[in-house]
Structure 1
Amino acid sequence: MGNISTGTTLKDRNIDIEDLLRPLCGSSDETSNHLFTTCMVASIIWQRISAWSRVAPIVVSVVRDLLKLCNHVGLKGIVNEIFHGIVMISCLCIWRAKNGVKFANKHAGTSESSNVKYEEEFITNSKGKKLFTCRWIPTNCEPKALVFLNHGYAMECSVSMKGAAMRLVNAGFGVYGIDNQGHGKSDGIKGFISHFNDLVEDCSQFFISICERKENKNKLRILLGESMGGAMVLRLHLKKPDFWDGGVLVAPMCKIADNMRPSPIMFNVLTQLRKFIPTWKIVPGDDIVELAFRDPKIRQEIRDNPLCYKGRVRLQTAMELYTVTVDLEKKLKDVTMAFLIVHGEDDKVTDPLTSKLLYESASSTDKTFKLYPGMWHALTYGEFTENTDIVFADAISWINERIARGNSRPEREQKSKNDKPPDTDKKKDHN
């Protein structure tokens, strides 16, 4: 209730705290509500307890709700008392884990967050939906470029892309992410994409708002997306072709493999069905977690992460993703921005040949394609550490090379203002 010694309460009492970030996951300031309710560790605990107790999923945002939880789960008598006791014991375990981790961090030297400022914020889109956003900013230097994260289908930014963000921010970049509607901590039915264009619009408005801040005006703007996030990067570029300075495409979803295309008859059937049951999980398919994530430890982390959707693909979602890829396939030649494609040769989710097709078809004069033998689909979070090191070394090096060449975007903007068409001045003179 605000009376325990979290980092923020100690700070309020004028006690010097080196790092306010929560030690359990290091993703936000350590408050009681965050520690016991929305913390990743706490979220997993409440998920496990609700499943074991066979009650509705436990979703709370303040400690006060935990104390009253037993009144709303539908259990009665001694069973309800036992449930309440389990919740309280779990809170004690979280508190002890927090103190244990903090002690370990204190004696380990530098925390991974010591030079990084992490912030979270909910924004509201044009349709009134709350969307989760987050950012990692270096505290020891001015960001030399802005990198905007675009997560894959069923994934999110603050946990599954945290490793990518930390690598990028430690390289000197400001990193920003957003959970698409229906994903992570944002509003919407989990795993449900009603209209992909709406997601594009949400990302575009949020990312542009960051770029237009006074302190970011002259910084390089780089988009990074994995799988569905790769499709998002391409759509954002095609929406504003001259706005973005480059894109890092990680196993991008930009074309449906021929053997994955539904027959015309099946497509017509699904098109009719989605008018009546768009949210139904009726699309068959393999376990993507098993196919995409090579490292068994990370595979289990994904399964334990309540922010990641693990159910079957919803009908409307499948149709939207299919439509997006069919549309992108027709527009690959319209891609003009500088880009780096990285793809695992053994990817069973998105075909490496589609990345090769993008590389060969795009009109970009600055384009690079790297294919990694033996690697799978999820290169930023899913491969073994030594492989992820290789991928990010290439990505960071590519971004730094664009920075070293000079910020071409402001130069282009200045030229466009000064290099007016000849007839413009003539028309003014005539008037």
Structure 2
Amino acid sequence: MPPPNLPPLPPPPPFFWGETPEEQYYASQGVRNSKTHFQTPYNTKIFTQSWLPLDQNQPIKGSIFMTHGYGSDSNWCFQKICIAYAKWGYAVFAADLIGHGGSDGLHGYIGDMDKAAATSLSYFVSVRKSDEYKDLPAFLFGESMGGLITMLMYFQSDHDTWTGLIFSSPLFVTPEAMTPSKLHLTMYGLLFGLADTWAAMPDARMVAKAIRDVEKLKIIAVNPKRYTGKPRVGTMREVVRVTNYVQNNFEKVKIPFLVAHGTSDGLACHSGSEMLYEKALTAKEDKALKLYEGYYHSLIQGEPDDAVELVLADMKAWIDEKTKKFGPK
């Protein structure tokens, strides 16, 4: 069962970890961070960040390009994932989706997921093809709805762009309670797009269904940039469209991938991850499905510490093995 409803929460701290200055905190984690805005080819700017090992002389194993989930952003608890990979010796890059965090767009609205994917992809590819990283293994990482959009990025990419894919609780199949009714979508569709940005879809209290650790839920809930309104019509329309699309195109996946999912996920059915594993044409030895019994949706940000350590250990073992196997060009 999801955690109980939370009492009124205090104002958020400056950072998810508290009040320690950013540079000091990152140094304590063994990483360095940078932030910038990237001008995309689509007349939009997106907020981007990078995390690299603190020791600038440490060889970089590969690059990871990460995409957060619905209503989230790269500047709060999602950083836990980014920092972990950077501590393992990878160069990590993340971009806030359009309509999220520090990127352009109406808050909480993604009216065209193909364009949202292409927008983030334009930044990721610019880094991936740079002299510093072009010869290193490169992976796309997506969490929740970010996993769905990451799959679109893979479909939009040249065949030799990425070494592998990593998915954490990807939104490939929505639970029945989370799926917008055809009646709602048809009714709003009759307004010829006028309702597309309306925050009018039923709200199923997403955050409470994502986090098993109540103390971590309190931290995530006070993210000042988290979208807390009802789902917007266009965003949910796109979720329905794109989940159907990727389910019918899993056989196009031919590169190594790891998909991790909790069996008690209330926001994204683990059956979607199982479907990907079964249908993808990736060589059997290069694809992996990790199901975690009783885990909720947010495997790294919202589970108890011992559970998080298990998930991260599995991810590290997989990416280190694939990086060694496929190595620098």
TM-score scaled to structure 2, two decimals?
Answer: 0.88
Is residue 283 from structure 1 mapped to residue 198 from structure 2 by the alignment? no
Structure number with higher relative contact order (C-alpha < 8 Å, ≥ 6 residues apart):
2
Task: Determine the C-alpha separation between the residues in 1 that align with 2:130 and 2:184.
Answer: 48
Query: How far is the alpha carbon of 1:242 from its aligned partner?
Result: 2.7
Partner in structure 2 of residue 72 of structure 1: none
Give the match's secondary structure for 2:212. coil
User: Is contact 1:274–1:316 with CA below 8 Å preserved after alignment?
Assistant: no
Q: Which residue of 2 aligns with 1:188?
A: 105
Report how far residue 267 of structure 1 moved: 3.7
Deviations 1:296-348 (A, max 9, x none): 12211122111111111011111111111111111111111210110001111
Q: Deviations over 1:175-217 (max 9, x none)?
A: 0000011101112211011211111111211111111111112
User: Is the CA contact (8 Å cut-off) linking 1:192 and 1:316 kept in structure 2?
Assistant: yes
* Cα contact 1:285–1:312 (8 A) shared by 2: yes
Which residue of 241, 244, 251 maps to 2:162?
Answer: 244
Residue 49 of structure 2 corresponds to 134
Task: Output aligned runs, 1:15-414, within 5 Å.
Answer: 41-42=13-14, 101=20, 111-113=27-29, 115-140=30-55, 141-240=58-157, 241-257=159-175, 261=179, 264-273=182-191, 275-365=193-283, 366-407=286-327, 410=329
Cα distance in 1, alignment partners of residues 227 and 39 from structure 2: 22
Asked if 2 retains the 8 angstrom alpha-carbon contact of 1:282 and 1:313, the reply is yes
**3-state secondary structure, aligned to 1:117:** strand
1-structure distance, mates of 2:214, 2:263 = 19
SS across alignment from 2:111: coil
Q: Which runs of 5+ in 1 are unaligned?
A: 1-39, 45-96, 411-431
* SS in structure 2 at match of 1:215: coil
Length-normalised TM-score, structure 1: 0.68
Give the aligned CA root-mean-square deviation in angstroms.
2.3
Following superposition, the deviation at residue 143 of structure 1 comes to 1.3
Instruction: Output the CA distance in 2 between the equivalents of 1:43 and 1:250.
Output: 23
Q: 1:274 to 1:291 in 2, by over 3 A?
A: farther
Deviation at 1:232, TM superposition (A): 1.8
Shift of 1:259: 6.7
Unpaired stretches in structure 2, ≥5 consecutive residues: 1-11
Residues 264 and 167 from structure 1, CA distance in 2 versus in 1: closer, same or farther, beyond 3 angstroms? closer
Post-superposition CA distance 1:354-401 (Å, at most 9, x none): 111111111111211010011000112111111111111101110000
Residues in 2 aligned to 1:407 and 1:250: alpha-carbon distance in whole angstroms: 23
TM-fit CA distance, 1:256: 3.7
Q: 1:116–1:139: 8 Å Cα contact kept in structure 2?
A: yes
Amino acid at match of 1:112: S
SS in 1 for 2:76: coil
- Bigger radius of gyration, 1 or 2? 1
1:385-424 alpha-carbon deviations (Å, 9 max, x no partner): 111111111011100001221327x3xxxxxxxxxxxxxx
Q: Distance in 1 between matches of 2:43 and 2:200?
A: 28
Distance 1:195 1:257, change over 3 A: same
How far did residue 249 of structure 1 move? 0.7
Q: How many residues align?
A: 310
State the secondary structure of the residue aligned to 2:228: coil
- Say if 2:180 and 2:236, in contact at 8 Å, map to a contact too: no
Flag the 1:313–1:405 CA change in 2: closer, same or farther, 3 A: same
The one-letter code matched in structure 2 to 1:136 is W
Query: What SS is found at the alignment partner of 1:167?
Result: helix
AA matched with 1:353: S
TM-aligned CA distance change 1:262 to 1:163, over 3 Å: closer
1:141-178 Cα shifts (integer Å, max 9, x gaps): 12111011110010111222111111111111110000
Say which is worse superposed, 251-260 or 307-316, in terms of deviation: 251-260
Once residues 263 and 42 of structure 1 are traced to their aligned partners in structure 2, the CA distance between those partners, rounded to angstroms, is 39
Kept in 2: contact 1:148–1:176 (CA 8 A): yes
Counterpart amino acid of residue 80 in structure 2: G
Separation in structure 2 between the aligned mates of residue 305 and residue 148 of structure 1, nearest angstrom: 22
Question: Given the superposition, is the C-alpha separation of residues 400 and 323 from structure 1 closer, same or farther in structure 2, using an over 3 Å criterion?
Answer: same
